[in-house]
Chain A
């Protein structure tokens, strides 16, 4: 486990580079934190997996599912984990790998465990309730999107002509914000974002970088701006932007390189101005 104030994400500088001769089959040890369900005890199991060229954490977990036998030769149940696209655009397969939160599909074995005898340690994300083994429940992230009205309030889906024109600069800014796949890395690495299993308490607990950045995304859109006031007010009170502790872990772990700290700063400024204006005008 890594201390809260340290960045936790994959980092090309600390990861082994690709080398000629990578992809040779070899056996790699996997130590996996397991749990059969909410309230059940946590335990560890180790597996020895025969890798193949291009192996990643997913292909190794697939092998464990086919042969769920521990290094001690004990038959066990397949490890449960969440996954989807396997090319780092859906966000499903996020977990903590060798102490760093990241997607398991893009965790190539030759890069995360380059040397003979290196071990791969898999744990579930820390800030979300475990469903089983490495599978966590991230529903809170989607609820946060509801709280900030993360949509453009269009007049229905019938044909009403084109949307607003947009400069390439604004498009570029919005595009990168819009690549957020709700993977939750930024929340898992954030010291202010706390694990909270009770949905009734989500509202007052720090909402985190992902939703703050989405609020900025919609406030930047010509039509989306119409919901700006509601979004800012949703982010003013408890659980809002002021609870960011500026650790900046979020931006370091974001697999899509979204400028999350810029978003937090932008929303922070907008909230401040909005609250002052409100104080003066009463609106």
Chain B
């Protein structure tokens, strides 16, 4: 390998840092780009924990395979099965590694790592560090990255914005050879060469205005790749987290671990009951999740909890004080225990609401949280090939395959987590592969780190491969890069040229107003409940917003640290992703996981057990939507009821057949 090979990683959250460390460890220099100092990436917001099979659960009948089966069932069969199997098998190793890095996981009295319950599982398989697990994991990877930075193998470009992937070739030959980025302080735009580019840029919560996401999670980077010919898969699969506190600037997450630690969701049985929660006797409280799902209770997966809360508040008007809110109650737990295990979120609730959740039940409502969809990626399947797809795996059964690495994915295959563009990878939340139609709680941190570590090896192998050897990025003529720099400079020039002196900007053409309107519209039309009529209306609205955006007027022409430029530019990208989300939601005429169509309330495997893929056509500015078969050769789909008591008899029958 020649010394001048380089890899670019865009995004400094868990996936990006894990990838940077893995690639640097192989001796290949990494240029790491981030909108913020990487220590401030959105991964810090993850609270509850990270899933992995562990010795205690194993001796109760749990296994890596069961973790895999839970994840596939949780995702309503839309996830790629091979990467999920590999991820579940690696999970205990990932935890061990984080442990070695010094993550302060909560401990038992004997000094072992403590465990908690989480949604979608009846086993304690979630490792945690207080209620700021994401922050703690990110810091551990940030520290290891800093170690390589000090050695000179990682070069950080913080406060740099990714603008465009540089590609050469057309169609299937297209290869990514670098990026164009902009320094958010000096506003300098320049190209960077690389033999592989890893996108680890997270989700697109800001498309929905107020979400649990950080201010940087606008999906802009993914949208730019999409516009540059990368495919975008399952955009309609947006997770709405059941428990958040609505705020003026964002919705703040109240971790699922609150329920994992015993938190109960309820409303007063009597509509309009104005008594304080502590004055309402047990018998007059409606624990609607426990009633409807006696097995999983409050720990049903997020899409189910969200729809039930939504139904109680919006359809039945049973919300607390007649408003869109329900109680999340932890007051029956020991306050010291809560501080020890959930301190981080107790503090957030106290700071932002003013009540102590150890004494008063929290008031919560669902909010947009996670994008299961994202850039489409491929993989090379591993060695596990059952003769027929396996039915439900029950606790204590012997797993059909052991947990050896390589069963799910071929280790080091250069195309693992690679997009349809050669050399362009997508890791972590921006990769669509792992979570299907719903992500189980505490699987995100795992998928991000697994992607970075496991597929980091794939990146290294790609860089060492023939295609790069024949034409390393360093050897390409500068014209390959220059035309993309010109394209981006042109966009900036147009935006800055719109600045008018004095007077108010008309709301129609104000970028911030357009973004706000987009958020309101997307939240109303493309989240918990979707219908054909409402989606069509939403598509119209987004069209109108795009129309208005084409004449957007900026309020700042500064050539130094122009934040509005960055925001307004990203708004244009959010509009593209929003349109794709709405159109995909319309195309998928079924209900599956987080995607619930009131007009098509059933899952329809015959038509839609498929990955939805969006391709952007720059000539017509249109989205081409198609469906691709999912490889379900490992696990046989079965109805996903989580033991609901009023589940339809035919579903139960199907479930029984699938289990046999």
Contact = CB atoms under 8 A, between A and B. Distances in A.
A binds B: yes
Nearest to A130: B561
Interface string B222-252: 0000000000000000000000001111101
A176 to B, nearest CB: 9
Interface stretch (A156-164, A243-251, A260-268): A156-164
Given A89-B132, A91-B40, A223 B351 contact: no
B290 interface: no
Given A85-B42, A175-B104, A37 B555 contact: no
Interface in A109-161: 131-132, 135, 138-139, 142, 145-146, 149-154, 156-157, 159-161
A88 B351 contact: yes
B555 A78 contact: yes
Contacts of B355: 18
A69 B504 contact: yes
Interface stretch (B143-151, B364-372, B465-473): B143-151
Nearest to B250: A86
A85 B147 contact: no
Nearest to A69: B504
A82 B39 CA distance: 14
A59 B250 CA distance: 9
B400 interface: no
B261 interface: no
B129 interface: yes
Given A75-B502, A146-B146, A224-B102, A171 B107 contact: yes
B129 A56 contact: no
Interface stretch (B377-385, B440-448, B508-516, B586-594): B508-516
Interface in B137-166: 139-140, 143-144, 146-147, 149-150
Given A106-B351, A131-B185, A80 B563 contact: yes
B100 A162 contact: yes
B143 A85 contact: no
B40 A131 contact: no
Contacts of B93: 159
Interface stretch (B108-116, B611-619, B639-647): B108-116
A90 B111 contact: no
A108 interface: yes
Contacts of B252: 86-87
Interface centre among B216, B504, B561 (most CB of A within 10 A): B561
Contacts of B185: 131
Contacts of B564: 65, 77-78
Interface in A58-99: 58-59, 62, 65-69, 75, 77-78, 80, 82-92
B257 interface: no
Nearest to A92: B40
A196 to B, nearest CB: 18
Interface string B348-370: 10011111000000000000000
Given A54-B248, A66-B516, A131-B561, A84 B36 contact: yes
A178 B39 contact: no
A75 B501 CA distance: 8
B97 interface: yes
A89 B44 contact: yes
B338 to A, nearest CB: 14
Given A66-B510, A78-B564, A90-B40, 14 more contacts: A18-B353, A37-B561, A62-B512, A75-B503, A77-B556, A90-B42, A90-B214, A92-B37, A132-B558, A142-B37, A145-B143, A168-B111, A171-B106, A179-B344
18 contacts: A22-B354, A75-B504, A75-B555, A77-B556, A87-B252, A88-B348, A90-B36, A90-B41, A91-B39, A149-B147, A152-B101, A152-B140, A156-B25, A163-B102, A165-B111, A168-B107, A171-B107, A182-B37
Interface of B: 18, 21-22, 25, 36-37, 39-42, 44-45, 93, 96-97, 99-102, 104-112, 129-130, 132, 135-136, 139-140, 143-144, 146-147, 149-150, 185, 214-216, 246-250, 252-253, 340, 344, 348, 351-355, 453, 501-504, 510, 512-513, 516, 555-556, 558, 560-561, 563-564, 567
Interface of A: 17-18, 22, 36-37, 51-56, 58-59, 62, 65-69, 75, 77-78, 80, 82-92, 105-106, 108, 131-132, 135, 138-139, 142, 145-146, 149-154, 156-157, 159-163, 165-168, 171-172, 174-175, 178-179, 181-182, 218, 221, 223-224
